[in-house]
Amino acid sequence: MPQEPPASVNAWPAFDDAHALQRLQQPAPPLRRSDVRTMLADFALITYAVDPERLQRLLPSGFEAQRLVIDGRERSLISAVLFRDLNFRFEFAPWLRFHFGQTNYRAYVLRRGEPCVWFFGTSLATGWVLVPQLLWRLPWHFARMRFDTAWRDGRCRHYHLHTSAPWGRAVVELEGTDEPQGVLPGFASPEQTSWILTHPLDGYFRRSDGQVGSYSVWHERLSLRRGIAKRARFEVFEELGLLDATSRPHSVLLQEQTEFYVYLPPHIVKQP
């Protein structure tokens, strides 16, 4: 039986395909001297469907867990985003380049009716993590990451990541397919899937001083292929009570590399 359109998504008029396509095609804002360019290699987006009420309890005032209908149940989505930063550089010093592994832990939320992401935190495999920690009070944590990946003709042949750290331990084993992203469970079209799941440009987080901060990114529409999770464990999500050892992903999406712009510095958001 064909799946009915997800009523929770379509309840917001802004979620129609025309609006989604417009957002996916919007040009990059001009880069300033404080902004960053980086190439994300071994990009993996591992998403889970979770209990909306559990997620809502973890969000600050002014943020609402985004709710979708998946297999007849109302669910919310969280993702671990894995990649290696290549040639990470600030516009004011493009000759100074850094390479390191990174994992972002995020939830899909609404703020003032617009889709965005809430960051629980980030693991960073470089001692330079102290800079965003101290300068901007970002919830970023040092970790040791060991990547073992292989790609051929855009397909991921294998993807292994082992992360050891006081915060953010993870073990991941993935395999790619030739199947494009398409329409994933809970969404009504490829455009809607891409906009909400892979194209949120505004992110929010809890600073170490308790205030809410925000920064934005830009990237072209991703050309992702579906993957298979042979093993995926994320201590962050388990300690938050969102997943357990038996949780299986809603989806796995992979891309060999893509360029991102990061607009810095972050700013403090006034709370209601």
Question: For residue 188, what is the DSSP state?
Answer: S
Which is higher by pLDDT, 114 or 263? 263
Number of alpha carbons in the 13 Å side-chain half-sphere of residue 47? 23
Number of H helices, E strands in the chain: 6, 14
pLDDT above 70: residue 11: no
Residue 15 is predicted with a pLDDT of 65
Measuring CA to CA, which residue among 57, 104, 75 is closest to residue 234? Answer: 104
The model carries a pTM of: 0.94
pLDDT above 70: residue 223: yes
What are the DSSP calls for 242-265, one per residue? S--TT---SEEEEEEEEEEEEEEE
Measuring CA to CA, which residue among 260, 269, 198, 186 is closest to residue 23? Answer: 198
pLDDT in tens, 27-54: 999 999 999 999 999 999 999 999 999 9
Tell me: domain 7-269, CATH 2.60.320.10, correct?
A: no
pLDDT above 80: residue 13: no
Mean pLDDT of the chain: 93
pLDDT in tens, 137-148: 999 999 999 999
pLDDT above 80: residue 9: no
| H, E, C per residue of 129-181 | HHHHHHHHCCCEEECEEEEEEEEECCEEEEEEEEEECCCCCEEEEEEEEEEEC
Cβ(163)–Cβ(144) under 8 Å? Answer: yes
Cα 110 from Cα 176, distance rounded (Å): 30
Percent of the residues in the chain that have a pLDDT greater than 70, as a whole number: 94
User: Mean per-residue pLDDT for 203-218?
Assistant: 97
Within 8 A by CB and 6+ apart from 120, the residues are 58, 105, 106, 107, 139, 205, 236, 240
User: Mean per-residue pLDDT for 100-121?
Assistant: 96
Cα 229 from Cα 148, distance rounded (Å): 15
User: Mean per-residue pLDDT for 166-190?
Assistant: 96
pLDDT above 80: residue 188: yes
What are the DSSP calls for 94-123, one per residue? TT--EEEEEEEEEEEEEETTEEEEEEEEEE
Measuring CA to CA, which residue among 239, 236, 39 is closest to residue 122? Answer: 236
pLDDT above 50: residue 4: no
Cβ(248)–Cβ(229) under 8 Å? Answer: yes
Percent of the residues in the chain that have a pLDDT greater than 90, as a whole number: 89
User: Mean per-residue pLDDT for 196-201?
Assistant: 94
